[in-house]
Structure 1
């Protein structure tokens, strides 16, 4: 995706990598000029929270869900890509631990959304182990924010474990690093949750 200043003052133009579609938008106040997450969400685009590709406009997002890209060669390999993406679930005394098997983006978002919904429907805290996740797009970031909000409303904790440098950069740039409980290792998160849960009721929220 290309992001350029719009013709009108205070606007930007988003240009789709795939089809060249362009849309003019008025961004909200953003912490950094290269962040376009709010604009992407407002217009139904998918991709990195940053102004770097690849990104997809709303029309291309729908098309990518029902058909392979025009330049795809041969049949899809069922052992790679979205079909093989999964979320491992471990139900422990301290919390439900979810471990995605790879990067979090729009094509696999429904799998994570369902796993988070199931975990949040119980009565335990939720730990999202990101040890296998290198990056997440605007859809994935939105899932994390909603999961945190739902857990908080239910009086529980939603923790992130082992986020990559990319994920940490996204959280920092979006000023979300103080919102989430973040741990380097799963054992640290579980020990913290088990040791003193009342103290977590106000931490990072």
Structure 2
């Protein structure tokens, strides 16, 4: 374990798994003894959202070669092409994302999701293979949600990890998205809602 929450009022000691340095961060905003995302992000460290780590200080993060930290950080376009894939159903665009949704992927992912929101009523972000999401990634999802709503649609989240479920909650955004345990459930929900919308339109004719 590389972070020891202890009592939140006294702060959270973080140990860098790269160099062994220890930093004490403020514990404000933490609501789960296992989840230290807020404390890690507050001091510019990277790593796991959970106390067991691993975590790296800003110096060690910079020292790690870019290709090890993120296999497609070389260019924005390669990130989008290799980490994001899209397939369509009659009612939804399913966007599968692999890797972390962070500053290096957010812009390209946003473009893909925005296009998807304009091509189908429902956009399903398949998060099954996503490990973490940072504030820019979350902001991207919020922006796409607004785009989908402007087109009378909706952004659904499928298969998020425990960490990805916790991050919106810390930002008080956990009620902004309908979230499903599996992709199949999300697709079924989109299909069911589309059928209901069609029935309602028919009843007004």
**How many matched pairs?**
176
Judged with a 3 Å threshold, the aligned counterparts in structure 2 of structure 1 residues 65 and 16 are, in CA distance, closer, same or farther, namely same
The structure that is helix-richer by fraction is 2
- Do the aligned partners of 1:88 and 1:98 also contact (CA within 8 Å) in 2? yes
Q: Which is greater in Rg?
A: 2
Considering only aligned residues, what root-mean-square deviation do their CA atoms show, in Å?
A: 3.6
In structure 2, the CA distance between the partners of 1:25 and 1:93, relative to structure 1 (3 Å rule), is same
Shift of 1:33: 1.9
1:104 to 100, 109, 120: 100
The 8 Å contact of residues 106 and 137 in structure 2, kept in 1 or not, is answered as no
Give 1:99 shift: 0.8
Uncovered stretches (5+) of structure 2, i.e. residues with no partner: 73-78, 198-205
Whether contact under 8 Å (2:4, 2:51) holds in the other structure is no
Of 143, 146, 150 in structure 2, the residue corresponding to residue 150 of structure 1 is 143
2:159 to 152, 162, 167: 162
Q: Helix, strand or coil for the counterpart of 1:31?
A: coil
Residues 10-54 of structure 1, C-alpha deviations (whole Å, 9 max, x = no match)? 222211111112222112232212211111111122222111122
1:181 to 178, 186, 194: 178
Where structure 1 has 5 or more consecutive residues not aligned to the other structure, the ranges are 70-80, 198-205
What's the TM-score once normalised by structure 1's chain length?
Answer: 0.65
Counterpart check, 1:118 vs 2:112: yes
Counterpart among 114, 136, 141 of residue 131 in structure 2: 136
**1:94 corresponding residue in structure 2:** 91
